Structure 1
């Protein structure tokens, strides 16, 4: 994995929040990834206050759920692939939010067990963990355009607002893996968060965790989020400088929401 990790173009805008740490961790193919990640996470804790460590997948007992193991031990089983390496990077940059997601998953697993259906809260937590972006905004009209599938208003008429009055920060590790080789139809689950576009990752993490905690009782799977085709974000794709880019209704679909 270190070879593939070193091949990532950290200059891409979607990797920028993670670039300094990601490029450093993947720089030496002879350094053990788990040891490097754990060293970087030396000051971090899980939701129970236990030291956070990244360990081999073999450390996960066969009869124990992944999220339950993290909650009980502080160990994050990490396979030798990009998917899990990006998950580790998100832990390093959004520890408070990851703690909350892990606590929710572990509590729901303890209550309902592994074999049952996940339920709406766990389903929403999983979707967020895998595929979310945080949509930072200060202008309610921009958040409304996102929720209402008003792509022209958000990306064309509102183009000058990006990086000034709104911005997107990736969170989902499966989304980050897809963006190693991006394509037009990549679509994220967006969580609108009223916060300045230039907020620090620490500020975003704290506000994001708080907003998810407040919404726990109303989370309802994919319907809790706004679909966002991320290649439409200004600066994320050269082709989207042409307004015709957004005329592709197979990607930039009109809304059909009841809520």
Structure 2
């Protein structure tokens, strides 16, 4: 059924297809939020805050999570510092902030860790014209990360080495059995409203035990949330080199056209990358 947007409502909310692999993991809560967003900004904030109250979520400095209108952010206040000190997440009536809010519930520990690291960096360096290397990496994670959960070192090596034929063609049967992906970056999710072949996420590789793939989805997500948040808090020298690019529509089972091996022959998308260096 096509969802209709009310006149004057921010565009895009009706375009979310919850059946797609990148959105379906958030559908249970997302469909409810979507209906609120189609009503008004106030209705969306009320729904988000009701969930935050019920779930007792916390931000980077253990403040109770809440969502406020962007206009309620005090003049001159830094976004991440405000969240850390008050628990209040400034939220606009758009898809970008809708998906950002979703991540506070899908992976609350990761979001809190990102906020803690960002606010700590602001405490030290202030808010300048550039974020610096660590804050840039944290922002890249927040905006564009994929969580690549993998129990097979050979597959992780293939991803790091841009060996697309091994990872996505020869070892297709490994997906769901020895590796899988969760979307995290809210800007990436926004782009996937209208997916295109070159849409690429920054994969954060998570080594998981083999029994991981025997667990239910909720247990897997909780394990990823704990593991990745611990890594983000415990790794001092975060750099963008810690990610591996992964074209989202190339993930086996995520796009009908990638059933044909020829899909991966497009060198403008599935690039040789650092293997040539």
Aligned to 1:120: 133
Aligned to 1:209: 229
Aligned to 1:230: 248
Query: Number of residue pairs matched?
Result: 257
Q: Which of 42, 48, 62 is matched with 1:37 structurally?
A: 48
How much does 1:3 deviate?
6.6
How much does 1:257 deviate?
5.6
Please tell me whether the aligned partners of residues 162 and 275 of structure 2 are also in contact (alpha carbons under 8 angstroms): no
Segments of 4+ moved more than 3 angstroms? 1-4, 28-31
Aligned to 1:75: 88
Aligned to 2:6: none
Instruction: Tell me, in whole angstroms, the C-alpha distance in 2 between the residues paired with 1:6 and 1:247.
Output: 34
Q: CA RMSD in A?
A: 1.7
Q: Which of 1, 5, 19 is matched with 2:27 structurally?
A: 19
The equivalences for 1:154-173 within 5 A come to 154-173=167-186
How much does 1:204 deviate?
1.3
Please tell me whether the aligned partners of residues 6 and 23 of structure 1 are also in contact (alpha carbons under 8 angstroms): no
User: Does residue 107 of structure 1 match 2:125?
Assistant: no
User: Does residue 98 of structure 1 match 2:111?
Assistant: yes
Instruction: Tell me, in whole angstroms, the C-alpha distance in 2 between the residues paired with 1:20 and 1:39.
Output: 15
Tell me the SS of whatever aligns to 1:26: helix
Q: Provide the TM-score with structure 1 as the length reference.
A: 0.94
Tell me the SS of whatever aligns to 1:45: coil
What do residues 107-138 of structure 1 show as CA deviations (whole Å, max 9, x unaligned)? Answer: 11111111152111101000000000000000
Please tell me whether the aligned partners of residues 18 and 93 of structure 1 are also in contact (alpha carbons under 8 angstroms): yes
* Gaps in structure 1 of 5+ consecutive residues: none
User: Which shows bigger deviation, 21-30 or 161-170?
Assistant: 21-30
Q: Which of 206, 216, 238 is matched with 1:193 structurally?
A: 206
What do residues 160-208 of structure 1 show as CA deviations (whole Å, max 9, x unaligned)? Answer: 0001110000000000000111000000000000123455221211111
Q: Provide the TM-score with structure 2 as the length reference.
A: 0.89
Q: Which of 137, 160, 165 is matched with 1:152 structurally?
A: 165
Aligned to 1:177: 190
What do residues 15-37 of structure 1 show as CA deviations (whole Å, max 9, x unaligned)? Answer: 12111110112124336111100
Instruction: Tell me, in whole angstroms, the C-alpha distance in 1 between the residues paired with 2:39 and 2:135.
Output: 37
Instruction: Tell me, in whole angstroms, the C-alpha distance in 2 between the residues paired with 1:251 and 1:3.
Output: 29
